[in-house]
């Protein structure tokens, strides 16, 4: 199901995205965040990501990761460890720069 162009995270998406979300879930631990930063490819090996999934992670393609079954709340952990906070992720989903996105907000100082 889509609502306003956004995929709804259902069992179909959750099953598809299980590898991606399992990897992102590990990033809730500080030690795992360090593992990811020091060896991203080795980290993806551990979670058996497919070649297509790896390419999406390397490209920080959050729209693609969502389509592949990533859940936004787990992708936020990947965003955090790669220096892309939620608002930067969202700006890319909208096809805008971060600055362009902030300019659309009621109180952009509340970041």
Partner 1 sequence: MARIVAGIGTSHVPSIGGAYDRGQTETPAWKPLFDAYIPVRQWLKALQPDVCIMVYNDHGADFFFDRYPTFAVGCADQYAIADEGFGTRALPAIRGDVAFSQHLCQSLVYDEFDLTICQQMAVEHGFLVPMHLCFDPTDTGWPVASVPIAVNVLQHPLPTARRCWRLGQAIRRAVDSYPADIQVAIVGTGGMSHQLTGPHFGQMQADNDQDFLDRMERDPDSLTQLTHQTLMNRFGVEGIELIMWLVMRGALSTTARKIHRHYYAPMTTGMGMITFEEHP
Q: Which residues bind partner 1 (CB under 8 A)?
A: 1, 3-11, 14, 18, 21-22, 24-25, 27-30, 33, 63, 66, 71-74, 76-77, 80-81, 86-87, 89-91, 93-95, 101, 104-111
User: Residue 78 burial by CB count (10 A; 0-12/13-18/19+): exposed, middle or buried?
Assistant: buried
Considering the complex, state which of residue 54 and residue 93 has its C-beta at the smaller distance from partner 1.
93
Cβ 16 to partner 1 shortest distance, Å: 11
Of 84, 52, 48, the C-alpha closest to 68 is 52
Cβ 94 to partner 1 shortest distance, Å: 5
What six digits make up the tokens of 31?
Answer: 């030690």
Considering the complex, state which of residue 60 and residue 86 has its C-beta at the smaller distance from partner 1.
86
Contacts of 30 (CB under 8 A, 6+ apart): none
């Amino acid at each position: 199901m889509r609502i306003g162009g956004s995929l709804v995270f259902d069992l179909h998406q959750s099953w598809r995205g299980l590898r991606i979300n399992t990897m992102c879930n590990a990033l809730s631990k500080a030690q795992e965040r360090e593992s990811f930063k020091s060896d991203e490819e080795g980290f993806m090996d551990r979670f058996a990501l497919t070649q297509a999934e790896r390419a999406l992670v390397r490209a920080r393609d959050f729209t693609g990761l969502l389509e592949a079954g990533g859940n936004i709340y787990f992708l936020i952990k990947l965003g955090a460890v790669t220096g892309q906070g939620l608002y930067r992720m969202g700006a890319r989903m909208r096809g805008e720069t971060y600055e362009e996105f902030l300019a659309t907000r009621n109180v952009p100082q509340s970041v």
